Amino acid sequence: MSRRYADSWIMVSLIFLGVLFMLPLVVTLTNSLMPANDILSHYTTRLSVFDIVNGVKERYIQIPLIPSQISLSQYADVLVNQPSFLILLTNSLKITVPVVLGNVIVSMLAAYGFSIWKWKHKEKIFFIYIVVMLMPLQAVLVPNYIVADQLGLTTSYLAIILPGIFSPFGTFLLRQNMKSLPKEYFEAAQVDGANSLYMFLHIALPQMKSGIAALAMLVFIEYWNIVEQVIIFIKEYYREPLSVFLSHIPSENISMIFAASVVYMLLPLWFLMLGQKDLEKGIELSGIK
């Protein structure tokens, strides 16, 4: 009886946490359907001089979940009346897609070399990979800028794309994933005369689909939400990605902020929902807690 009681409390707690984590998404979606006046009436906390003199208590924000009336004009402002939004959306894809493709390819090859090939100082070099992976972004931005400056790339997307392609996290994730593959597969293939390229294409890759999908999703989300590198390397407004554009929307136009946020998060949400099982399985096989 006590075990069933404990399981019930665990289930209730998980449901509560799930609802709590989903609340920002629900608020963003429902508020994006409200007219601007309706939103401003709930989210203003400013007190006038008249209110302060008369001792009116501070008003608190009321977060509405159900729109009293539905309006799509803010979506028209974002997608139709704001042509720059689609241009900035393209900028986000120009940065994110090359990083995802390049990082997956480089990580697959490097993970295969660290897992299957036997060569001297392999573990020492992989330890350096882990050290670099654990360093915060702020610690590597200055070296990245110096290297980009030496290469003449300080105003190019390549200053963001190249460090993303060679990020060590992908190698770490896929190496952990590849370590779960039985060594007997590769030994049997070597006995049959298979070379490294054949084993990579016909043995390693087919069994690493979940890990590759998990890496692609994680890298996509990271660079879809990129901010710091863009602020440092990209100076022109029309070349910025959407992740920076959202902070430029005036706070008075709060309905447009909600609508732009919904459009901005649709692609990564769709990507995650499409590959949720692969993401879970890929992280599980990698052994990352």
Q: Both 229 and 133 in a single domain?
A: yes
The tokens describing 77, both together, are 């402002």
CA distance 286 to 154: 35
Q: Are 168 and 129 in contact (CB under 8 A)?
A: yes
pLDDT digits (tens, 9 = 90+) for 49-58: 444 445 555 5
Q: Both 87 and 20 in a single domain?
A: no
- Identify the residue with better confidence: 281 or 130: 130
Residue 163's nearest CA partner among 229, 113, 243 is 229
Q: Both 58 and 155 in a single domain?
A: no
Domain count, the chain: 2
Residue-level pLDDT at 289: 46
Residue-level pLDDT at 98: 94
CATH number, domain at 181?
1.10.3720.10
Report CA-CA distances (Å) from 242 to 83, 94, 151, 237: 13, 11, 26, 11
pLDDT digits (tens, 9 = 90+) for 254-284: 777 888 888 888 888 887 777 667 666 666 6
Model-level pTM?
A: 0.79
Domain extent for 62: 2-71
Q: Both 138 and 230 in a single domain?
A: yes
- What's the mean pLDDT in 185-212? 81
Q: Both 87 and 166 in a single domain?
A: yes
Residue-level pLDDT at 102: 94
Report CA-CA distances (Å) from 236 to 228, 230, 239: 15, 10, 6
CA distance 153 to 267: 29
Q: Both 196 and 124 in a single domain?
A: yes
Last residue of a domain, one of 23, 42, 71: 71
What percentage of the chain exceeds 90 in pLDDT?
8
Which residues touch 240 (CB under 8 Å, ≥6 apart)?
88, 91, 230, 234
Residue 239's nearest CA partner among 171, 133, 159, 152 is 159
Reduced to 3 states, what is the DSSP secondary structure of residue 53? helix
The tokens describing 111, both together, are 């993970």
Q: Are 282 and 213 in contact (CB under 8 A)?
A: yes
Local structure of residue 219 (DSSP, 8 states): H
Dihedral of CA atoms 148, 213, 276, 132 in degrees, nearest 10, equals: -40
In terms of C-beta density within 10 A (0-12 exposed, 13-18 middle, 19 or more buried), how is residue 5 classed?
exposed
First to last CA, the chain: 31
Q: Both 54 and 183 in a single domain?
A: no
Per the prediction, the chain carries an average pLDDT of 79
Q: Both 133 and 13 in a single domain?
A: no
The tokens describing 202, both together, are 């016909």
Q: Both 61 and 87 in a single domain?
A: no
Residue-level pLDDT at 99: 94
Q: Both 229 and 121 in a single domain?
A: yes
Q: Both 224 and 255 in a single domain?
A: yes
Q: Both 65 and 94 in a single domain?
A: no
What percentage of the chain exceeds 70 in pLDDT?
85
